[in-house]
Amino acid sequence: MKLHTITIEPIMLIGIEEKTKNENEINGKGKIPKLIQTFYSEMLSKISNRYDENHILSVYTDYESDENGYYTYFIGAKVKDLSFIPEGMVGKTIPSSRYAIIPSAIGKVPEIVINEWQKIWLDKDLKKKRVYSTDFELYDQRCLNDDYAQVDIYVAIKD
């Protein structure tokens, strides 16, 4: 996999989170689909200081080990600051770091995202570079049509 890399500045987000692991998500015992539904139906409209109306991030952080261990899944909106966090939500800052940006194929969400993560997990060269700190998916204007979407996956790597 040829990698395009970038160093990002910190990103502030407000959203909701759950601890999970990929084994549970794959076996139908996952928390991510319900969390996403709750975020869009109940939480997003409560975030008043959004930085970019079209940027939603799905964040994977607090890794226990690698893609096989527990991690925290967070979905949130970019915000200007963390001075007001609505009840029931949390603020999170993605730290400045070096990332490989991996664009998904164009297609139906969530299939395109799942397929891309499976490729990432199998890529031996990328696995050697990963730091398992904070990874995220960027859902922007390219995702307004769930059936014809494209997502960028940012994977934290060593400098």
pLDDT at 52 over 90: no
pLDDT digits (tens, 9 = 90+) for 90-124: 999 999 999 999 999 999 999 999 999 999 999 99
Q: Please give the model's pTM, rounded to 2 decimal places.
A: 0.96
> Alpha-carbon distance 144 to 19, whole Å?
27
pLDDT of 136 reads 98
Domain count, the chain: 1
Q: What are phi and psi of 60, to 5 degrees?
A: -120, 120
Residue 59: per-residue pLDDT = 98
As a whole number of Å, the CA-based R_g of the chain is 15
Domain extent at residue 20: 4-156
Mean pLDDT of the chain: 96
Helix (H) or strand (E) holding 119: helix 111-122
Q: What is the CATH number of the domain that holds 24?
A: 3.20.80.10
Residue 159: the pLDDT is: 82
